[in-house]
Each structure stands twice: as C-alpha cells, then as structure tokens.
C-alpha cells in the first residue's frame, strides 16, 4: 500500500467516525478540553457568550429549565454563534468531562450539563468541519 493509499484510508476512517451530532460534539469537546477552551457552567457560559468569545454552543434538549434555554438561545442569536441541540444532558456532561472514568475507560458518576460552550476548539478536525457543514 502506498503512502497516498494509507492517507485516503485514514481520512475515510476519520470521515466515518463523524457521522452525527453526538460523534462531532464528542470530538470537539475532547479537543477543546485539551486546549483549555471548554466552558461548562451556565453562568460562565453566558459570560463567554455575552463577551463574544464563543465559537460553538451546545444546548441539551433535556434541560428542564425553559429560562436557561431562552437565555442561551437569545445570546447565541445576538452574537451569531452557532447553537447545536444535543439530545441528552448526561451525554453532554460526559463529553464535557463532568464524570469519573473507571479503569476500563467507562464513564461513572456522570453529571448532566445543560449548556457547554467552546471558546477554543483546539486543533482543526473533521468534527469541526461536520458541525460547520451541518449547522442547525
């Protein structure tokens, strides 16, 4: 197998991994945590949104406080920040690192997150391209 064949197989595998909002959010959050560019708490997220420092925002559909949703949506609209809906707060919390990881690599004691914002997405990735191409 030549070098170009290896690269095309590797890029095809990377494209297959990012197939939905969940896989894209997971990858972007992982890269943002490494770059110290992930904000998890509502108050801090709103401050970052208001300052216009946010590149992406993720809001959980299972958030049970309608005022939180209205506030985040309004701030994103005002600052023209892409907002993505994530189905489950627990999954969003897990992807944002709000959990303990056991020795097998499984998430335990996951804390749900209603909103997560990305201020620095870290290295460019296929996940960022997927989010930009599939804006909601």
- Number of other residues whose CB lies within 10 A of the CB of residue 106: 9
Q: What is the pLDDT of residues 31-60, one digit of tens each?
A: 888 888 888 888 888 899 888 888 888 888
Among the residue ranges 14-18, 98-102, 109-113, the one predicted with the least confidence is: 14-18
110 pLDDT higher than 50 = yes
22 pLDDT higher than 70 = yes
Q: To 10 degrees, what angle do helices 126-133 and 3-17 make? A: 50
Residue 13's pLDDT is what? Answer: 40
Residue 7's pLDDT is what? Answer: 46
* CATH H superfamily, domain 20-133: Ribosomal protein L30/S12 (3.30.1330.30)
CA 58 vs. chain centroid, Å, equals 6
CA–CA gap between residue 56 and residue 77 (Å, rounded): 12
Q: To 10 degrees, what angle do helices 126-133 and 21-34 make? A: 130
């Amino acid at each position: 197998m030549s070098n170009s064949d290896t690269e095309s197989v590797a890029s095809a595998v990377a494209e297959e991994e990012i197939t939905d909002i969940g896989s894209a959010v997971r990858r972007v959050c992982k890269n943002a945590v490494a770059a110290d560019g992930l904000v998890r708490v509502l108050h801090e997220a709103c401050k970052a949104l208001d300052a216009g420092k946010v590149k992406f925002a993720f809001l959980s559909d299972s958030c049970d406080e309608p005022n939180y949703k209205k506030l985040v949506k309004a701030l994103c609209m005002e600052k023209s920040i892409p907002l993505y809906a994530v189905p489950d707060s627990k999954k969003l919390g897990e992807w944002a690192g709000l959990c303990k990881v056991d020795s097998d690599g499984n998430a335990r004691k996951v804390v749900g997150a209603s909103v997560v914002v990305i201020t620095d997405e870290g290295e460019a990735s296929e996940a960022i391209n997927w989010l930009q191409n599939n804006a909601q």
